[in-house]
Amino acid sequence: MKKVDKETLKLAAQHLMFEMSDEEYESLLADFDSIISKMKILGEIEGIDDVEPMTFPFDVTNSYLREDIAGEPLTREDALKNAKDIHNGMIGLPRVVK
Amino acid sequence: MRYMDKNLREIHNAIISNSVTPLELVKEAIELAKNDDNNAFEYICEKEALEKVRKLDPSKKNNLLYGIPVVIKDNISTKDIPTTASSDLLKDYVPVFDSEVVTRLENEGAIIIGKTTMDELAMGGTGTSGHLGTTYNPWDKTKTRIIGGSSSGSAAAISAGVVPIAIGSDTGDSIRKPASYASLVGFKPTWGRISRFGLFPFAPSFDHVGYFTRNVYDSAYLLNILAGRDDKDSSSSFEPIEDYTKHLEDKLEGTRIAVINGVIDNVSDKEILNSFNKSIEYLRQNGAIVDYVDIDLILLEAIQPTYFIISSSESTSNNANLDGIKFGSRIEGKTLEEVMVNTRTNGFSRRIKDRFIIGSYSMLEENRNELFIRAQKCRRLIVNAFNNVFEKYDAIYCPAAPTIAPKINLKEDTVFNKVNISEHYMAFANMGGFPSITLPLGFENSMPFGGNLSSKPFQESKLFNIANYIEKGTGLSDKVAKRD
């Protein structure tokens, strides 16, 4: 398992696209000890590696496909309703090419 | 005459007999919401509700929900009504469509009068982490106890008698725990039984839409309205629906109920144990067979960390779209990336960032097998253990929590509190998609506590049947916190 230190947490935050203060990283680092130790206990559960990971509550076999009928998509007006900085029906963003 | 303290059938009869009109009911609920002192509301839909109630179709008058004021948790989409999930990042967000649950309620004639506070993005169990601050427990006049979360405002609004129905969501126990702290009936169905179209996803393999009522009949009736296939939600079930009120009074002879030793052994509160034991005695007197059964303690202890790793991991990817570009409170920057970083840095509270980092760390290639995949394997072992119990028993019954509502402590509920099995076990029902209901059991120092029943998937009728008997035994239905 990758060692948890402040740099690891900073890298994760960078990937997640937000920033935290040094104090927040220190506090989270302390919580990680508890998380890692609990997860190590899970590794000791008998038979844990003999089962498949469970990704949903129960198996459902479903052959449903909707009819191939065109539906009404969101209107442009609705799609842009919650965006800021609208120009000519498009969302404005900082210029990429200066 | 005050109607919002009453149950659905009483209010309906008052409408049918012309003792009250839907407009009067909506005005009463809005007035109560405006005077709410529990921080239950993100938004009161006064203008919208008054407009809709005036346009109600009188031909629907015989529907039990006709003219009934309802509140909706603020992570459930309501067209043209702000929906923030109690997060600063979404403080200006206004959905352009209704969730399926809202559509079904409104088709019956229910009127949405407010959106309720919650733990930010539904990630929390105390009702203290939303952007509007702590939601208070109406049963505690000193305003020092939590209501629980994450469906905190919905629980507070119905227990304070603002509305007779409140919609919530439940990913770990977010309806069923607050119900215990507020003398409510809190229900989540089988996974897939109620459409999640329009619910903001937190951890979709655990997420459920559910609700609060103040008695078991109303809970069963509401499922008649909300259950059923919805093509807009690919996880929605094709299983046939039933009349869930039909078997409420069926005799319990031969019904087998299991109490889990590892849960009950971790409850030390004598009042809770005493009331729980009395309810078991009542079930036995009515023909139920109640046994105490073991589940491996290590699996019960594993429920919380397993839940935490999986839900944090799922939440990381499901909230990646909250970047302020297409929607959300954008904070400007010099580049596209800077806009996203500024928006997410300012928009999320520390608790949310912690969860995302834990989730992201758990899914790193070098950690995945030991954290995320191991948690998913553990989930299977936990669900297998409960399914083994359900092979012999119709339901599992335990106290919903080991205590009455705890005192507000903003330092708690950060990442991992100390593990008490009886505090966190109810997430097993989210892991296995089992229907689950909390209902009132008693009071200690004027604060409520409850019991919780769960059953096999799609056995909601049996669940309501047993719950109805427990309610008869306790006599605790239609309880509203007294106002000063």
Q: Which of B87, B150, B183, B312 is catalytic?
A: B150
What pLDDT does A32 receive?
85
pLDDT band for B343, please (50, 70, 90 cuts): very high
* The pLDDT of residue B238 is above 90: yes
Cα Rg, chain A, nearest whole Å:
24
With CA atoms as reference, report the closest residue to B137 among B184, B74, B84, B83.
B184
- Active-site residue flag, B151: no
Residues 88-107 of chain B whose Cβ lies under 8 A from any Cβ of chain A:
92-94, 96
Q: What is the mean pLDDT of residues B97-104?
A: 98
Q: Please tell me if residue B290 touches chain A, with a CB cutoff of 8 Å.
A: no
Residue B207 included in any domain: yes
Q: Which of B52, B73, B456, B462 is catalytic?
A: B73
Structure tokens at B478: 């239609």
Q: For residues B358 and B421, state if they share a domain.
A: no
Q: For residues B344 and B199, state if they share a domain.
A: no
Which stretches of B54-160 are assigned E, i.e. beta strand? 69-73, 111-116
b/e code B112-143 from CB counts within 10 Å (16+ = b) = bbbbbbbbbbbbbbbbbbbbbebbbbbbbeee
With CB atoms and an 8 Å threshold, state whether A9 touches B357: yes
Calculate the average pLDDT of chain B: 96
Q: For residues B44 and B189, state if they share a domain.
A: yes
Q: Which of B345, B367, B389 is the last residue of a domain?
A: B367
Q: For residues B402 and B343, state if they share a domain.
A: no
* The pLDDT of residue B416 is above 80: no
Q: For residues B310 and B417, state if they share a domain.
A: no
SS3 call for B293:
strand
Structure tokens at B215: 């008695």
- Active-site residue flag, B174: yes
Q: Which domain holds residue B219?
A: 8-252+397-474
Q: Which of A20, A34, A58 sits opposite B416 (nearest CB)?
A: A34
Percent helix / strand / coil, chain A, rounded to 5: 40, 5, 55
List pLDDT tens digits, range B436-465: 999 999 999 999 999 999 999 999 999 999
Q: For residues B65 and B177, state if they share a domain.
A: yes
**Cβ count within 10 A of residue B251:** 11
DSSP 8-state assignment for residue B209: E
Cis check: omega of the bond before B150, within 30 degrees of 0? yes
Q: Please tell me if residue B384 touches chain A, with a CB cutoff of 8 Å.
A: yes
Q: Which of B174, B236, B315, B422 is catalytic?
A: B174
What pLDDT does B417 receive?
54
Q: Please tell me if residue B171 touches chain A, with a CB cutoff of 8 Å.
A: no
Q: For residues B100 and B240, state if they share a domain.
A: yes
Residue B322 included in any domain: yes
**Cβ count within 10 A of residue B461:** 19
Which residue out of A16, A19, A50, A66 would a mutagenesis test of the B interface target, given it has the greatest number of B Cβ atoms within 10 Å?
A: A16
Distances in Å between the Cα of A58 and the Cα atoms of A53, A61, B427, B434 are 12, 10, 15, 10
At a CB cut-off of 8 Å and minimum separation 6, what does B371 contact?
A: A1, A39, B309, B361, B362, B363
With CA atoms as reference, report the closest residue to B148 among B132, B134, B161.
B134
Q: For residues B28 and B172, state if they share a domain.
A: yes
With CB atoms and an 8 Å threshold, state whether A48 touches B374: yes
List pLDDT tens digits, range B106-153: 999 999 999 999 999 999 999 999 999 999 999 999 999 999 999 999
CA angle B208, B209, B210 (to 5 degrees): 110
Residue B283 included in any domain: no
Q: Is B21 exposed, middle or buried (0-12, 13-18, 19+ CB in 10 A)?
A: middle
* The pLDDT of residue B483 is above 90: no
Q: For residues B363 and B426, state if they share a domain.
A: no
With CB atoms and an 8 Å threshold, state whether A39 touches B375: yes
Q: What is the mean pLDDT of residues B255-260?
A: 98
Q: For residues B315 and B360, state if they share a domain.
A: yes
List pLDDT tens digits, range B262-309: 999 999 999 999 999 999 999 999 999 999 999 999 999 999 999 999
**Cβ count within 10 A of residue B444:** 15
* The pLDDT of residue B168 is above 90: yes
What pLDDT does A72 receive?
87
* Closest residue in chain B to residue A53, using alpha carbons only: B377
Q: What is the CATH number of the domain that holds B25?
A: 3.90.1300.10
With CB atoms and an 8 Å threshold, state whether A82 touches B93: yes
Helix (H) or strand (E) holding B381: helix B372-392
With CB atoms and an 8 Å threshold, state whether B302 touches A41: yes
List pLDDT tens digits, range B204-214: 999 999 999 99
What pLDDT does A39 receive?
84
Q: Are B359 and B315 in contact (CB under 8 A)?
A: yes
What pLDDT does B411 receive?
59
User: How many A-B residue pairs are in contact by the CB < 8 A criterion?
Assistant: 171
CA A32, distance to chain mean position in Å, is: 19
Alpha helices in B64-138 (DSSP H): 100-107
Helix (H) or strand (E) holding B455: strand B447-455
| Domain total in chain B | 2
Higher-scoring residue by pLDDT: A44, B211: B211
Alpha helices in A1-98 (DSSP H): 6-15, 22-43, 76-80
* The pLDDT of residue B412 is above 80: no
Q: For residues B153 and B302, state if they share a domain.
A: no
Residue B292 included in any domain: no
- Active-site residue flag, B150: yes
What pLDDT does B178 receive?
98
What pLDDT does B257 receive?
98
HSE, side-chain direction, 13 A CA sphere, residue B251: 5
Task: Show residues of chain B in contact with A28, CB under 8 Å.
Answer: 354, 357, 415
Residue B341 and residue B339: Cα distance in Å, rounded? 6
pLDDT band for B413, please (50, 70, 90 cuts): low
Q: Which of A18, A62, A84 sits opposite B348 (nearest CB)?
A: A18
* Closest residue in chain B to residue A34, using alpha carbons only: B416
With CB atoms and an 8 Å threshold, state whether A17 touches B430: no
Q: For residues B65 and B158, state if they share a domain.
A: yes
Residue B157 and residue B135: Cα distance in Å, rounded? 10
Helix (H) or strand (E) holding B143: none
With CB atoms and an 8 Å threshold, state whether A55 touches B205: yes
With CB atoms and an 8 Å threshold, state whether B378 touches A81: no
